[in-house]
Amino acid sequence: MTAITPDNITVPRKLPEGGKTNLVGLTREQMRETLIAAGTPERQARMRVGQLWQWIYQKGVTDFSVMTNLAKDYRALLAEKFTISRPEIVTRQVSSDGTRKYLLRIQGGHEVETVYIPEDDRGTLCISSQVGCTLTCSFCHTGTQKLVRNLTPAEIVGQILVARDDLGEWPKPGRHPKDETRLLSNIVLMGMGEPLYNFDNVRDAMKIAMDAEGISLSRRRITLSTSGVVPEIPRAGAEIGCMLAISFHATTDEVRDRLVPINKRWNIEALLNALRAYPKLSNSERITFEYVMLKGINDSDEDARRLVRLIEGIPAKINLIPFNEWPGAPYERSSNNRIRAFADIIYKAGYASPIRTPRGEDIMAACGQLKSATERARKSRAQIEAEIRR
Contact (CB, 8 A) for 201 and 150: yes
Choose one: 130-138, 211-219, 271-279, 294-302; the region binding ligand SF4 (CB under 6 A).
130-138
Residues 351-380 that bind ligand SAH (CB under 6 A): 367-368
DSSP 264: G
Contact (CB, 8 A) for 75 and 67: yes
Q: Select 323 or 342, whichever has its Cβ closest to ligand SAH.
A: 323
Q: What's the closest the beta carbon of residue 261 comes to ligand SAH, in angstroms?
A: 11
Q: Are strands 111-118 and 186-189 parallel, antiparallel or unpaired?
A: unpaired
140 is catalytic: no
Q: How far apart are CA 240 and CA 243, in angstroms?
A: 9
Contact (CB, 8 A) for 244 and 223: yes
Among 70, 292, 308, 343, binds ligand SAH (CB under 6 A): 292
206 binds ligand SAH (CB under 6 A): no
139 binds ligand SAH (CB under 6 A): yes
Q: What's the closest the beta carbon of residue 276 comes to ligand SF4, in angstroms?
A: 22
> Choosing among ligand SAH, ligand SF4, none, which partner's interface includes residue 367 (Cβ < 5 to 8 Å by kind)?
ligand SAH
Q: How far apart are CA 52 and CA 253, in angstroms?
A: 49
Helix (H) or strand (E) run with residue 131 in it: strand 130-131
Q: How far apart are CA 80 and CA 231, in angstroms?
A: 43
190 binds ligand SAH (CB under 6 A): yes
367 is catalytic: yes
Contact (CB, 8 A) for 55 and 61: yes
247 binds ligand SF4 (CB under 6 A): yes
Contact (CB, 8 A) for 260 and 227: yes
* Catalytic positions: 113, 367
**Which residues contribute to the site for ligand SF4 (CB under 6 A)?**
133, 135-137, 140, 142-143, 193-194, 227, 247
Binding stretches for ligand SAH (CB under 6 A): 137, 139-141, 190, 194, 225-227, 247, 290, 292, 321, 323-324, 367-368
